[in-house]
Amino acid sequence: MHDTGTVSPSAPAPHQAELPKPGLPAQSGDGDDSRHARRFGLPVATCLVMGNIIGGGIFLLPASVAPFGTISLLAFAVLTAGAVALALVFGRLAHRDPRTGGPYVYARAAFGDFAGFLAAWSYWITTWVSNAALAVAAVGYLDVLVPVADHRWTACLAALTLQLLPALANLAGTRWVGAVQLVATVLKFLPLLLVAFGGLFFFDSGNLGPFRASDESPVGAVSASAAILLFSYLGVESAAVSAGEVRDPRRNVGRATVLGTLGAALVYLLGTLAVFGTVAHDRLVDSTAPFSDAVNAMFGGAWGGTAVAVAALVSMVGALNGWTLLSAQAPYAAARDGLFPSAFAKKRRGVPTVGVLVTVVLASLLTVYNYTAGPAGVFEVLVLVTTFTATVPYLLATAAQIYFLASGQGERVDRGRLVRDSVLAALAFGFSMWLVAGAGYAAVYQGVLFLFVGVLLYAWMAARKQRAALR
């Protein structure tokens, strides 16, 4: 328990990491100024956030929530409010401390090394397991274009290739990461916006179905549909995690986080509404490709499946590109502080190369395991666990913001801003707790065990750090 009563507003707590002073440039980590390393501007940082929030799940979302009726659109509104509150909190935290690492940096500054390590460890688990999941899911869309899913090892090779290509872009430097992310975001949003906005011209209210299509109460229906949608907003922290690679992070990280979250929310909401209005409700409930059905209903023909498959592939490759970068950033920040092996702190062309390589190896091994284990494997269980591990950094970061504000370590602001920031932090913490609850009992139970595996690594690294300090 921290004694905040003895902390001076102008000085960090005894356990707290030194923060960069206002007015000084944010550290980029290694001073790599090669032509392959380039800091992200606001447009690319925004694309990083949008690209990581919107993966391939959007292409199934309308069918997933259709059984609850159009009341599920209210769940979108509630979740968007929570996600925006979380985005604003990340923006305020990044303004206070614009270093690479995001939640790791904030948790460590507020609560010490162990909390920082848990944030980095849990976030790292999320990234490489999610990469494997994205690649496996992408094979299903690739199969629409090139038959690969009928043969297990052909599908496995395709999944491994889909992981390797974004990794190569990362190893080529942040300049290439930004270029790929920008192109992927633009290309995937073209068909999504076509349905989201074009579908409004073909909108038929007769397709909407009932407001409440299930036997759930209104509150129960919103909560049940929200449980499906909860994890659609994971990725709001993307710009904060890569703050050291963003130009003028005190200004741009917050803007990119909010703009990216709002952009993703707009596409989610309009896309779902357009599909609801173009595909009959009874057909939508059983649809396995709702956006394909919407395109076919809008323009006729049967080319919707191909168009959506291409869009989904582009979307997932963009998400893999962004998540691969993030998978190296959290351990990079922790390694600089002696809480991860030092190899993770090495950068080349602006990218922590060891983190990228280790992530690709682990994700590839998990992918191979998925195809060897078959339907009886535990791959799906691991993916569900990551929905819990992803929220641990959110809880620690929002708790850190509450700690900074309550202990007088926040920015010196007027009372009006202090109240606003406190309300936003409380909303963001509640939203994060809702994410944990949505993961389910089994995922939380197993996720905690997964987190505690890292305690052994922390003990080893903390001991090494202590020995080095005593020499």
Contacts for 227 with CB less than 8 Å, ≥ 6 apart: 438
375 pLDDT more than 90: no
N residues, the chain: 471
pLDDT in tens, 229-266: 766 777 788 778 777 777 877 888 888 888 888 888 88
Q: Taking every pair of C-alpha atoms in the chain, what is the biggest distance, in angstroms? A: 76
Give the CATH class of 26-465: mainly alpha
Contacts for 121 with CB less than 8 Å, ≥ 6 apart: 334, 451, 454, 457, 458
Specify the pLDDT at position 302. 66
Query: What is the DSSP track for 170-232?
Result: HHT-HHHHHHHHHHHHHHHHHHHHHHHHHGGGG--GGGS--S--SSS-HHHHHHHHHHHHGGG
Mean pLDDT lowest for which of 126-140, 210-224, 317-331, 427-441?
Answer: 210-224
Specify the pLDDT at position 2. 39
What gap in Å lies between CA 74 and CA 50, rounded to an integer?
21
Put simply, whether the predicted model's pTM sits higher than 0.85 gets the answer no
9 pLDDT more than 50: no
pLDDT band at 59 (very low <50, low <70, confident <90, very high): confident
Specify the pLDDT at position 388. 82
* Mean pLDDT across 87-98: 86
User: Token pair 């949003």 is at which residue?
Assistant: 189
273 pLDDT more than 80: yes
Most confident of 45-49, 317-321, 430-434: 430-434
Specify the pLDDT at position 18. 35
Specify the pLDDT at position 174. 66
> Domain spans of the chain?
26-465
Token pair in block for residue 154 = 């052909």
Q: Cβ distance 102 to 330 under 8 Å? A: yes
The partner residues of 351 in beta bridges, in order of sequence, read 348
Q: Cβ distance 410 to 425 under 8 Å? A: no
What gap in Å lies between CA 291 and CA 305, rounded to an integer?
8
Q: How far apart are the first and last CA of the chain?
A: 30
pLDDT in tens, 108-160: 999 999 999 999 899 888 888 888 888 887 887 787 788 776 777 888 888 88
CA dist list (Å): 446 to 11, 382, 440, 449 = 39, 9, 10, 5
Specify the pLDDT at position 398. 93
Specify the pLDDT at position 111. 92
Query: What is the DSSP track for 269-297?
Result: HHHHHHHHHHS-HHHHHT-S-HHHHHHHH
Phi first, then psi: what are they for 26, rounded to 5°? -65, 145
Compute the chain's Rg from CA coordinates: 22
Task: Count the helix, strand and coil residues of the chain and give each as a percent rounded to the nearest 5.
Answer: 75, 0, 25
What gap in Å lies between CA 243 and CA 240, rounded to an integer?
5
